[in-house]
Amino acid sequence: MNLQDSISCIKGVGEKKCRILNNMGVETVDDMLHLFPRKYEDRREISYIMEAPFNKDVLVKGRVAARQYRGNPYNKKTPLRILVQDGSADMEVLFFNGRYLADYFNVGCEYTFFGKITLNNGRRQMAHPEFHRLGDKDDERGIFPVYPLTEGITQANMRKIIKSILPLASQAEEWLPDKIAKESNLCSPAYALTNIHFPKDERQIKEARYRMVFEELLILQTGLFYIKKGRSNIRKGIVIAENISVENYTDRLPFELTEGQKRVWEEVQKDMASVRPMNRLIQGDVGSGKTAVAELAIYKTAKAGYQSAMMAPTELLAKQHFVSLKRDLEPLGLNVDLLCSSLKAREKQEVLERLSSGKTDIIVGTHSIIQPEVAFKALGLVITDEQHRFGVNQRSLLAEKGDTPNILVMTATPIPRTLAVILYGDLDISVIDTMPPGRKPVRTYLRNNDSRDNVYDFVHNEVKAGRQAYVVAPLIEESENIDCRSAEEIYKELSQRFPDVSVGLVHGAMKQNEKDSVMESFASGETDILVSTVVIEVGIDVSNATVMVIENCERFGLAQLHQLRGRVGRGKAQSYCILLCGHESEIANKRNKIMCKSSDGFAIAEEDLKLRGPGEIFGTRQHGLPELNISDLIRHVDILEDVKKVAADIIDKDPLICLPEHDQLRRKVKRMFGEKIELKL
Ligand code: ADP
Ligand code: MG
């Protein structure tokens, strides 16, 4: 057998397991060896119950002293309880719904148990441990891999299969140029593949994982640099002469651009004037004024005789953009059109005709503007708003409707620089780091449920004073299993309590047109209080709204809380954000403190990175990046720094990745990116 053989050659992998593994993306023996453990169980040493730390996996050995010794044995819901003693202390082993296991445990016999000990009313307990009868064949000491599983495959299956093919790992050859492997202190692939599965100690785990993470990030980064380089070599983009004046636009603006806006606009103008097409990301906190920069770019593009397209993730946002673009640009003689699925067939046809004949200067829409029937006369600029909702693919589909138009991406999701560089590896990045003057920071308060009545009295007062309010809840409807407020419950409660104001409800399970009409009624001021789930998170702009109440705020992440708070504080009046905490926890308290202290999105994002578990923040899938197997853009940001230098050297020396020494690398880049991004490799 060798690495390229199908997994069906492995003994113990029958037709059924083969199919399950195929579904996990595993075809060959080599793939199987690249199915890495999620974590390890350290079962090298036996601890005494008395000395074992709480809440950490430990292995203990003990004698069963009693079985089902408390609780009503006739009640089916009573868990199986086993009293275990090891001479140092007692512990109770618990199996909920585990009474079928009772016969396995004989009083007086010794077993090993692997799991976490917790302290419950002074009693040591271990729930659902792994267990073996002492001396059983499979009761082994060592470090054991824990694999990701899917239905139909058990942990024991996985361990057995991997163990049986482990000797083949030694066939894995070094595929990186020697120089790179040496300078980056990488262990060999054979060593890494062997020891990542069944390591003897922590050092082996570390070396093996470092190699594998390095490898994967190098392939990713090299691919991204290749794409970026390829783009920068295109020398036939649309050129918008630098000296075209935009004074007519700026003269009409009721304000002066901020320093940040001016700087970013300079960068955008330079890009547009270059023969190389623009690929720029504008990052700016909510309310920093990204739209003005986009409008400048649209206006200038139109004056040069080209059309612009703006794509937003929801119909509501598209409509809002449509209204403001019309307001700002029509007086300057530009024609703005909206394309979305709610248009009637005839209206849509008219829009399409105006677009292809060149009458329309700017088209705003949702995904509908990447449909095949949409054609432009001369598309010069593509703008996507809130880009974290779009993949690389959708962006390029829109761009393909023109002859390499300029691309501008706008996002309010603050992303720390190190990460932005990789997440948007194919884009140049500009940051609007100033806020328009006179903005009053949103006052943020933390309250617990005892103050709910007061909080809602306050909301009521604000509404009576002519303002509007948002109330956000984590759930749509009440749930027996989760103890927190639901939008429906709050909606009912507030409607009853304040019959003199108008309360609206919007959540993700409603139909699109229902959602739209509720949101429109709030935007027009008809609705005073909008109760919702997080559907309002993205971009809606109602400057008369001054209060944001977030129920069960402990259920939201920092970035989300910040986005939600960004919905208020958009007008001249003082705004408020009230965090209602249902259940305190250490992490929730930290988040709340940061929210009360800081209003800077980037600072909050950095804190978020520190607080949250790795991998939770940016799903790579949303960004259209290839899926990663072992590496994590956040946890491995240090390795990423090392990798970046190496990848930059590779692309400098070999921009097309065609040197023989990069033969394998090219193959791996191609495999990782697949059809996601067109690679002419
Ligand atoms: P975002 O970056 O969140 O998209 P917007 O572009 O919607 O922000 O701008 C938010 C509000 O700030 C808008 O009402 C806009 O008119 C206003 N604004 C933008 N730039 C300035 C500025 N330089 N001075 C004052 N107000 C501004
Ligand atoms: Mg915006």
pLDDT at 583 over 60: yes
CA angle 500, 504, 509 (to 5 degrees): 155
Q: Label residue 96 by pLDDT band (50, 70, 90).
A: confident
With H, G, I as helix, E, B as strand and everything else as coil, classify residue 543.
Answer: coil
Q: Which two tokens stand for residue 128?
A: 């659902």
With H, G, I as helix, E, B as strand and everything else as coil, classify residue 389.
Answer: helix
Are β-strands 110-120 and 57-67 bridged in parallel, bridged antiparallel, or unpaired?
antiparallel
Q: Is 291 in the pocket of ligand 1 (CB under 6 A)?
A: yes
Q: Residue 126, class by beta-carbon neighbours within 10 Å (0-12 exposed, 13-18 middle, 19+ buried)?
A: buried
Contact (Cβ atoms closer than 8 angstroms) between residue 212 and residue 639: no
Q: What is the pLDDT of residues 58-76, one digit of tens each?
A: 999 999 999 877 777 777 7
Residue-averaged pLDDT of the chain: 87
Q: How many CA atoms does the CB half-sphere of 391 hold within 13 Å?
A: 13
- In the DSSP assignment, the letter for residue 6 is B
Query: What is the C-alpha to C-alpha distance for residues 5 and 19, in angstroms, rounded to an integer?
Result: 15
pLDDT at 288 over 50: yes
Ordered DSSP codes for 322-344:
HHHHHHHHGGGT--EEEE-TTS-
What totals of helices (H) and strands (E) does the chain contain, helices first? 21, 22
pLDDT at 618 over 70: no
Q: Is 257 in the pocket of ligand 1 (CB under 6 A)?
A: yes
Of ligand 1's atoms, which has the minimum distance to the CA of residue 284?
2
- Measured from the alpha carbon of residue 439, the closest ligand is 1
Q: Is 405 in the pocket of ligand 1 (CB under 6 A)?
A: no
Beta pairing partners, 580: 447
Superfamily of domain 45-140: Nucleic acid-binding proteins (2.40.50.140)
Q: Is 309 in the pocket of ligand 1 (CB under 6 A)?
A: no
How far, in Å, is the centroid of ligand 1 from the Cα of 258?
Answer: 10
Residue with the two structure tokens 């089916």: 76
Query: What is the C-alpha to C-alpha distance for residues 383 and 361, in angstroms, rounded to an integer?
Result: 13
- What's the mean pLDDT in 396-412? 79
How far, in Å, is the centroid of ligand 2 from the Cα of 378?
Answer: 25
Of ligand 1's atoms, which has the minimum distance to the CA of residue 570?
11
pLDDT at 454 over 50: yes
Q: What's the order of all strands across the beta sheet hosting 545-550?
A: 443-448, 576-581, 545-550, 468-472, 529-532, 503-506
Query: What is the C-alpha to C-alpha distance for residues 292 and 279, in angstroms, rounded to an integer?
Result: 18
User: Which CATH code for domain 443-598?
Assistant: 3.40.50.300
pLDDT at 248 over 50: yes
From the list 354, 349, 427, the residue with the least C-alpha distance to 384 is 427
Percent of the residues in the chain that have a pLDDT greater than 70, as a whole number: 90
pLDDT at 619 over 50: no
From the list 519, 533, 568, 530, the residue with the least C-alpha distance to 547 is 568
CA 116 to chain centre: 30
Q: Which residue's CA is the closest to the ligand 1 atom numbered 11? A: 287
Q: Which residue's CA is the closest to the ligand 1 atom numbered 24? A: 436
Of ligand 1's atoms, which has the minimum distance to the CA of residue 292?
6
- Measured from the alpha carbon of residue 384, the closest ligand is 2
Of ligand 1's atoms, which has the minimum distance to the CA of residue 261?
23
Is the domain 247-432 a CATH 3.90.1170.50 member? no
Ordered by start, the domain boundaries in the chain are 45-140, 176-234+642-654+665-672, 247-432, 443-598
621: amino acid identity, one letter = R
Integer angstrom CA distances of residue 325 from 85, 287, 328, 521: 74, 16, 5, 21
Of ligand 1's atoms, which has the minimum distance to the CA of residue 438?
25
Of ligand 1's atoms, which has the minimum distance to the CA of residue 288?
2
Q: What is the pLDDT of residues 165-202, one digit of tens each?
A: 999 999 999 999 999 999 999 999 999 999 999 999 99
Q: Is 289 in the pocket of ligand 1 (CB under 6 A)?
A: yes
Q: What is the pLDDT of residues 296-339, one digit of tens each?
A: 999 999 999 999 999 988 787 888 899 899 999 999 999 999 99
Q: Which residue's CA is the closest to the ligand 1 atom numbered 26? A: 436
Q: What residue ranges in 71-196 does DSSP mark as E strands? A: 80-85, 90-95, 110-120, 123-127, 130-133, 142-146
Lowest average pLDDT, out of 54-68, 280-294, 489-503, 633-647, goes to 633-647
Query: What is the C-alpha to C-alpha distance for residues 214 and 225, in angstroms, rounded to an integer?
Result: 16
Q: Label residue 396 by pLDDT band (50, 70, 90).
A: low
Q: Which residue's CA is the closest to the ligand 1 atom numbered 16? A: 289
- Which of 281, 291, 383 has the most ligand 1 atoms within 8 A of CB, as the residue to mutate? 291
Integer angstrom CA distances of residue 310 from 314, 380, 528: 12, 11, 30
- What's the mean pLDDT in 240-255? 93
- Measured from the alpha carbon of residue 295, the closest ligand is 1
pLDDT at 212 over 60: yes
How far, in Å, is the centroid of ligand 1 from the Cα of 291?
Answer: 7
Q: Is 258 in the pocket of ligand 1 (CB under 6 A)?
A: yes
Same CATH topology for 45-140 and 247-432: the answer is: no
Lowest average pLDDT, out of 45-54, 271-280, 382-391, 405-414, goes to 382-391
Ordered DSSP codes for 626-679:
PP-SS--TTTTHHHHHHHHHHHHHHHHH-TTS-SGGGHHHHHHHHHHHTTTS--
Residue with the two structure tokens 């009360």: 596
Q: Is 264 in the pocket of ligand 1 (CB under 6 A)?
A: no
